[in-house]
């Protein structure tokens, strides 16, 4: 499959079953769903309003169970009906309006952070946000009451002390991928992500991007999802000079991509099996069975796709790194052996 074909994000219906949401807690009318949501929120807020975050496992279990139900209701909610002839973003549904008005997601994330974000809670929050963003029928990330808590959670994943345990990396990258898919469909989200306050993003202007870069050369599904997501960022930033300048001047994207390519090249086998005397070119079927070649070719094709869709600032810097950091010092001597 061409890398450029990945610029057409998958629809929610095509997402894998492993990231499916919990079963629907309510299929009733909007008023009943709102009442159910409010009931869950009352029970959660009672725990959250304690002066000191509770260390009780019972409280944690209760908060997580109620949160699961609340976010499933929010994900399933349809936008309110627009006034006749109305255009633009449809009005919020009543549950989303309550979430925005009372800043519910911020309260939940802050409570988890104050009590200490253990890996189980961190993983649960990552999966809940991924479900919420991937399955919601409303443009949730266009609301700061959803975007800022998400960035606060991701900021915790990027924190040097807390970080993201290796067992949660799949959940993290899946969430980041989903955010980038949404960003590709709703360009305003890129602007909001880039302009978000430092308190939410830490020391970087584009936390989503910075978290994805370390996975560029990773093998397996996690690497593929990261590269897909980064390619969406590249395409979206092609018409956004401030974001492109940040990527070119304030991120390690281009050097990581070029130096990683050199490292992958150095790990290639010295010989490959030749099936006949007429063999003269490296075809896909030749390298698909060699894991080191698969990694190298995936990264090489990704470089090619980035060059085709990225902003000229990023394109020129990447080509410079590839020329001076890979082609001349690595490929050149190899070709003369």
pLDDT in tens, 244-281: 998 998 888 999 999 999 999 888 888 777 667 777 67
Task: Determine how many CB atoms are found less than 10 A away from the CB of residue 206.
Answer: 20
What six digits make up the tokens of 109? 């994330």
What six digits make up the tokens of 232? 């969406």
What six digits make up the tokens of 253? 């994207």
What was the pLDDT predicted at 70? 96
Report the candidate in 112, 197, 185, 114 with the shortest Cα–Cα distance to residue 129: 112
What was the pLDDT predicted at 272? 72
What six digits make up the tokens of 314? 């990023």
Task: Determine how many CB atoms are found less than 10 A away from the CB of residue 266.
Answer: 11
Q: Which residue has the higher pLDDT, 316 or 194?
A: 316
The pLDDT of residue 135 is above 90: yes
Tell me the average pLDDT of the chain: 85
- In angstroms, the CA 6 to CA 246 distance is 23
Q: Which residue has the tokens 């090489």?
A: 300
What six digits make up the tokens of 316? 């020129």
> Are the beta carbons of 253 and 244 closer than 8 angstroms?
no
pTM score, whole prediction: 0.85
What was the pLDDT predicted at 309? 94
- In angstroms, the CA 263 to CA 259 distance is 6
DSSP string over 291-335: HHHHHHHHHHHHHHHHHHHS-HHHHHHHHHHHIIIIIIIIIHHHH
Q: Which residue has the tokens 């997501």?
A: 229
Task: Determine how many CB atoms are found less than 10 A away from the CB of residue 86.
Answer: 10
Residues 6+ apart with CB under 8 A from 144: 192
| Cα 115 from chain centre | 25
pLDDT confidence bin for 284, thresholds 50/70/90: confident
- In angstroms, the CA 311 to CA 171 distance is 29
Burial of 162 by CB count in 10 Å (0-12 exposed, 13-18 middle, 19+ buried)?
A: middle
DSSP state of 161: T
DSSP state of 151: H
């Amino acid at each position: 499959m061409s890398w450029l074909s990945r610029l057409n994000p998958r629809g929610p219906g095509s997402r894998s079953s492993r990231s499916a949401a919990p079963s629907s807690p309510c299929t009733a009318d909007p008023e009943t769903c709102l009442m159910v949501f409010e009931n869950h929120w009352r029970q959660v807020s009672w725990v959250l309003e304690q002066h000191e975050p509770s260390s009780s496992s019972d409280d944690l279990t209760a908060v997580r169970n109620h949160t699961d139900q609340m976010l499933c209701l929010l994900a399933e909610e349809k936008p309110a009906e627009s006034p006749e002839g109305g255009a633009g973003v449809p009005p919020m549904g009543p549950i989303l309006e309550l979430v925005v008005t009372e800043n519910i997601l911020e309260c939940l994330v802050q409570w988890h952070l104050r009590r200490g974000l253990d890996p189980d809670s961190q993983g649960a929050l990552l999966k809940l946000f991924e479900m919420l963003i991937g399955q919601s029928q409303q443009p949730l990330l266009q609301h700061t009451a959803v975007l800022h808590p998400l960035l606060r959670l991701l900021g915790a994943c990027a924190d040097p002390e807390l970080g993201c345990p290796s067992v949660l990396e799949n959940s993290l990258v899946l969430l980041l991928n989903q955010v980038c898919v949404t960003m590709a469909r709703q360009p305003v989200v890129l602007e909001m992500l880039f302009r978000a306050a430092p308190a939410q993003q830490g020391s970087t202007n584009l936390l989503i991007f910075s978290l994805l870069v370390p996975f560029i050369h990773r093998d397996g599904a996690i690497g593929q999802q990261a590269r897909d997501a980064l390619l969406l960022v590249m395409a979206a930033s092609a018409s956004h000079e401030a974001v492109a300048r940040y990527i070119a001047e304030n991120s390690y994207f281009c050097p990581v991509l070029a130096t990683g390519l050199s490292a992958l090249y150095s790990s290639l086998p010295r010989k490959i099996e030749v099936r006949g005397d007429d063999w003269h070119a490296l075809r896909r079927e030749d390298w698909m069975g060699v894991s080191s070649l698969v990694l190298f070719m995936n990264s090489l094709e990704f470089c090619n796709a980035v060059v085709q869709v990225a902003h000229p600032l990023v394109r020129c810097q990447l080509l410079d790194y590839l020329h001076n950091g890979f082609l001349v010092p690595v490929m050149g001597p190899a070709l003369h052996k």
